[in-house]
Amino acid sequence: MDLKDKLVSSFMAFENNVDVEHPVHDIRTEAIKNFEEKGFPSKKQEAWKYTSLKGLQKVDFSIFPKQVNTLELKEVKKYFLHEVDTYKIVFIDGNYSPFLSETTHDGVDICLMSAALTKPMYKQVIDVYFNKIASKDESLTTLNTAFSREGAFIYIPKNKMPKKPIEILHFSTGNEASLMLQPRNLIVAEENAELQVIERHQSLTSNEVLTNAVTEIFAAENAIVDFYKVQNDAKTASLIDNTYINQKDKSVVKVHTFSFGGKLTRNNLNFYQNGEHIDSTMKGVTILGDKQHVDHHTLVHHIEPNCESHQDYKGIYGENSTGVFNGKIIVDKIAQKTNAFQQNNNILISDKASINTKPQLEIFADDVKCSHGCTIGQLDEDALFYLQSRGIPNKEARALLMYAFANNVLESVRIPELKSRINKIIAEKLGVRLGFDL
Amino acid sequence: MLKINNLHAGVEGNEILKGIDLEVNAGEVHAIMGPNGSGKSTLAAVIAGKEEFEVTEGNVLLNGEDLEDAAPEERAHKGIFLSFQYPVEIPGVSVTNFMKTAINETRKAKGLEDMPANEMLKLIREKSELLEIDRKFLSRSLNEGFSGGEKKRNEIFQMAMLEPQLAILDETDSGLDIDALRIVANGVNKLKSKNNAVIVITHYQRLLEYIVPDFVHVLHEGKIVKSGDKELAHELEDKGYDWIKQEAAV
């Protein structure tokens, strides 16, 4: 049985474990129908031209882990941003781990989707926000919607700000030979609210994992949301990340995506600007080697006038790795005075590495500033000579130049401990120990 | 210290240096002058080991050792320093961190431990005062947004930190106003000793008013066509390079 059939037929078993009377279940039922009709996207579709899911569909993934596994904190501490105090929402093989988590209901709700989907006190928030911005048409998103049961639920009321950053961590323990996970997150920042979220998927063994995640983020008037995606997973872990962001007037949302690992990673990052004077920022650093593949698909839809969007993605591709950047910007006719910037710069450090980069601009307004640029190059030999002439060996000199190349993406990281952690991962990826911490 | 014998070098089959002979001893200052395109910067880059240039004949010896197979960083470890005409910008790496890396990599190559942090700080303070460099400047990203003068001053600061045996200053005077020129020259003069040597590469005589050479060589079409003392520099300033070209043609 292929993966699609297996998923569709698993839906009935899934229904035994959820409240089918809940209004959300109607959404799930609609969603599975859409997935059944559409199936997995294929390379024939323009949006999936460079990323094939064929291999993954042949894997016999477990849809529901048979048993609950536990983890000792000391086994996984290094995956947490432990240098700083954080709220934590932790899942092990898709199941919530109360032991590793630190949730709160103190003025803000930082807890579980399973609670939000079942408890009456959250019904109103779920009614207003759940599955409102996520696509009802894109098949992988609807697949996630059909099986939506668990994930992070974060609700920050008007004028509130959580005391510390929030970490969402998904561990897979290798209990199953191969496991498919479908976390569903909902993040709501009401008027003037502010929050910082760090999300990480981590496989702890070499058993195959496929994660198909959906995150919906709502930023109301003047809200500020910083979302950091740390993608540094095992070589047998694949991730399809579908993130949908709805912004209202004067809100500021920044998403940083650090893609350093994994087998296949697809980031579908979608911004919808439903208001004026909105600022949307997407930044990414990708450093790949081996046969890794990362595909960044971004969309910014400028729906109202006087808004800005900034995209800056840097990629360093080595060995046989492959990358894709596809940045779509839509400016509606009414969205005058839009400022939309997009930049994608890449360095290929191996003859066998490749990158496909494509800006896609659909501009229907006439008074806008839109710019885009993409470059693919090698390291600057003159710069390399400069560093070497100062006594810095070739390998370290190359690493310093690559670091310098990716550096400006890190400038906007507002959690210093995270920034230094990312710097360390970069130094590690580049295989150097420099005379100072990057 | 440095001995260059019949050096021929070029890029992609195009010969730029066509037989250079030069001997530089400890304690000496040599000036290499010449019109644009005469091969001055190529000579500097070849001594420093830039791989883009291929040496087709002759050799470069440092203290009797042939440098042919030495990578640029190995030459740096042996005490060669090149002050660049166009220093490269390195965003995200501060001047201080860059110097730490350069010094500790050089020490590593010599089998030494990293320089202790307090010693490093002391050295940085001492040398930055020599070049009249502000402390804030040291935490800025290397060369990023630096003015022409700041870049050159920073080059000489790096030279002061690395204490090379042989320093080659490639057009260090270009883009400098008179105050910056004085600071840079003053720094170089203070670093000069009987144990090291300096090669000043320049188009103009201006810098040589401050860094007084023992020998002046004129490079033209890849060859040293005339050598003399500092008076030769004055002569070039007065008469330009045309008479050298004519003399060379005869």
A1: confidence class by pLDDT, cuts 50, 70, 90: confident
Question: Measuring CA to CA, which residue among B57, B243, B92, B69 is closest to residue A399?
Answer: B92
Contacts of A434 in chain B (CB under 8 A): 101
CB contact under 8 A, B73 and A385: no
* pLDDT tens column, A5-30: 999 999 999 998 888 999 999 999 99
pLDDT at A433 over 80: no
Mean pLDDT of all residues in A217-233: 97
> Identity (one letter) of the amino acid at B107?
R
Distance from CA of B2 to the nearest CA of A (A): 17
Task: Residue B19: give the domain boundaries.
Answer: 2-249
Q: Among B49, B153, B162, B62, which Cα is nearest to B104's? A: B162
CA distance A133 to A214: 11
Mutate to test the interface with B, among A312, A314, A382, A385 (most CBs of B within 10 A): A385
Pick from B71, B75, B88: CB nearest A383: B88
Asked if B93 and A403 come within 8 Å (Cβ–Cβ), the reply is yes
B80 CB-near residues (< 8 Å, 6+ apart): A389, B47, B48, B49, B62, B164, B165, B166, B168
Of A381, A390, A436, Cβ closest to residue B76: A390
Candidates B93, B112, B170, partner chain A, best to mutate (most A CBs within 10 A) = B93
Confidence of residue A437 (pLDDT cuts 50, 70, 90): low
- From chain B residues 99-158, the ones with a CB under 8 A of any chain A CB are 100-106, 109, 114, 158
The predicted pLDDT at position A222 comes to 98
Please tell me if residue B164 touches chain A, with a CB cutoff of 8 Å. no
* Mean pLDDT, rounded, for A211-221: 98
Share the mean pLDDT of chain A: 94
As a whole number of angstroms, the distance between CA A299 and CA A313 comes to: 13
User: Which of B46, B53, B89, B90 to mutate: most A Cβ within 10 Å?
Assistant: B90
- Looking up residue B222, the CATH number of its domain turns out to be 3.40.50.300
Give residue A425's pLDDT: 86
Number of folded domains that form chain B? 1
Q: How far is A376 from chain B (nearest CA, A)?
A: 19
Q: How far apart are CA A264 and CA A290, in angstroms?
A: 11
| Residue predicted with more confidence, A339 or A435 | A339
Give the residue among A130, A155, A138 at the shortest CA–CA distance from A270. A138
CA–CA distance, A281 with A370 (Å, rounded to integer): 14
pLDDT in tens, A279-325: 999 999 999 999 999 999 999 999 999 999 999 999 999 999 999 99
Are A392 and B73 inside 8 Å of each other by CB? yes
* Contact criterion met (CB below 8 Å) for A204 and A174: yes
Residues 6+ apart with CB under 8 A from B214: B28, B29, B30, B229, B230
Residues of chain B positioned with their CB less than 8 A from the CB of A388: 49, 71-73, 76
Helix H, strand E, coil C: the string for chain B is CEEEEEEEEEECCEEEEEEEEEEECCCCEEEEECCCCCCHHHHHHHHHCCCCCEEEEEEEEECCEECCCCCHHHHHHCCEEEECCCCCCEEEEEHHHHHHHHHHHHHHHCCCCCCCHHHHHHHHHHHHHHCCCCHHHHCCEECCCCCHHHHHHHHHHHHHHHCCCEEEEECCCCCCCHHHHHHHHHHHHHHCCCCCEEEEEECCCHHHHCCCCCEEEEEECCEEEEEECHHHHHHHHHHCCHHHHHHHHC
A148-162, A386-400, B135-149: range with highest mean pLDDT: A148-162
Using CB atoms within 10 A of its CB, is residue A22 exposed (0-12), middle (13-18) or buried (19+)?
Answer: middle
pLDDT at A435: 54
DSSP annotation of A44 reads T
Domain ranges of chain A: 3-274, 381-438
CA distance A415 to chain B (A): 17
Partner B contacted by A285 (CB < 8 A): no
Q: Which of A381, A394, A408 sits opposite B71 (nearest CB)?
A: A394
Question: Higher model confidence: residue A327 or residue A431?
Answer: A327
Minimum-distance CB partner of A404 among B76, B90, B109: B90
The pLDDT profile of chain B, 250 residues, written as one tens digit per residue, is: 999 999 999 998 899 999 999 999 999 999 999 988 899 999 999 999 999 999 999 999 999 999 999 999 999 999 999 999 999 998 888 899 899 999 999 999 999 999 999 999 999 999 999 988 988 899 999 999 998 889 999 999 999 999 999 999 999 988 888 888 999 999 999 999 999 999 999 988 889 999 999 999 999 999 999 999 988 888 888 888 888 778 777 6
Summarised one tens digit per residue, pLDDT across range A263-278 is 999 999 999 999 999 9
Whether B52 has its CB under 8 Å from any CB of chain A: the answer is yes
Q: Single out the residue of A205, A197, A196, A189 nearest to residue A168, CA to CA.
A: A197
Task: For residue A153, give how far its alpha carbon lies from the nearest alpha carbon of chain B (Å).
Answer: 36
